[in-house]
Amino acid sequence: MVGSSHEALHRIFQKDPALLTRALQKVLHVPFPEPREIAALNVDLTEIEPVERRVDTLLRAETDEGTYLLVVESQGKTDERKRGSWPYYLAYLYEKYRCEPVLIVITQSSATARWASRPIRLGFPGWHSLTVRPLVLGPDNVPVIADERQAEHDVPLAVLSAMTHGRGPQAPAILESLASALRTIDPDSAAVFVQFVDSCLADSQAKQMWRDLMTAIQYFWRHPLAEQVREEGREEGREEGREEGRIEDRRGMILRILEWRDIPVPQDVRERVEACTDLDQLETWAQRAVHATAAQGLFTEE
């Protein structure tokens, strides 16, 4: 028994599924193709088993023009399943909060950025029922911040720059500028940023250089991540002798920083660094290596 107009208006298409096709074609003038087969499916969309669905970050933004939900998704590689889950997220969030959702995808890969920026269109071609246009942040549009003053002006953006371009050719200049800029903000915030950058650096050389920079400015060791590095150092120290291990580590750090910054290291400079056994002196040279414009700059104040 049909008890309401609501039921009647949709159940007629259950009775004659082909009627819906004809209505599209002849009433709405949508050039829907003639179906080979039409089958009625279960209309119950309730999921019996709980399914965990989470976005990476969800922010509520109040503006003069209205309230928006910012849905941030971190994407490492292409994943066609996302082209189904992203529309679901947006529709669900709109229904729950009655605020306009905005999808932002962030990636370190240019190829993934191109894939993610493609509009997601669901429905009949040329007459889509749902279109999702992700906003994508990636290597091709996130600015390269390789200037110390620019990094100090907007440290979070400089962090994003380092996280996005950490495996590109600009990485040395970006990380060097950020290392200096982190000293201008409160230590707790800087500690979090240090971890973010360290976690995003997939290139092993870039990661080591970042840790060298943090050690050279005597900041990195404030962060809990440093305990892991210290433990690695202690393991090496047990084999070689703790003091000798630290000295050797600082010698290597100084030379790596200079070489990483594309500063030529003459043989006499290399020999002087490798011959030094004064840990305090090596610490000083490591700090100077971060800003020196020439290898001889390590010794200018001596």
Summarised one tens digit per residue, pLDDT across range 15-71 is 777 767 777 788 778 887 888 877 776 656 566 566 567 888 888 888 887 889 899
Return the residue matching tokens 């210290």: 230
pLDDT of residue 2: 47
Q: Which of 33-37, 93-97, 106-110, 166-170 has the lowest mean pLDDT?
A: 166-170
Closest by Cα among 31, 35, 38, 36 to 16: 38
**Burial class of residue 86 (count of CB atoms within 10 Å of its CB; 0-12, 13-18, 19+):** buried
Quick one: 6 exposed, middle or buried, by C-beta within 10 A (0-12, 13-18, 19+)? exposed
Choice between 246 and 125, residue whose per-residue pLDDT is larger: 125
**Span 1-20, average pLDDT:** 64
pLDDT at residue 44, as a whole number: 63
Structure confidence at residue 165 (pLDDT): 86
What length is written for the chain?
302
Residue 174 structure tokens: 């970006």
Confidence at residue 28, expressed as pLDDT on a 0 to 100 scale: 77
Residue 101 CB: number of other CB atoms within 10 A? 20
- Dump pLDDT digits (tens) for 78-96: 999 999 999 999 999 999 8
The sheet with strand 135-137 has its strands ordered as 57-63, 66-74, 100-106, 135-137
Q: DSSP letters along 68-132, please?
A: EEEEEEE-SS--TTHHHHHHHHHHHHHHHH-SEEEEEEE-S-HHHHHHHTS-EEEEETTEEEEEE
**Residue 195: beta bridge partners?**
none
Least confidently predicted of 94-98, 271-275, 282-286: 282-286
To the nearest whole number, what is the mean pLDDT of the chain? 80
Residue with the bigger pLDDT between 28 and 201: it is 201
Q: Global pTM?
A: 0.69
What is the identity of the amino acid at 257? I
Closest to 284 in 3D by CA, of 218, 214, 208: 218
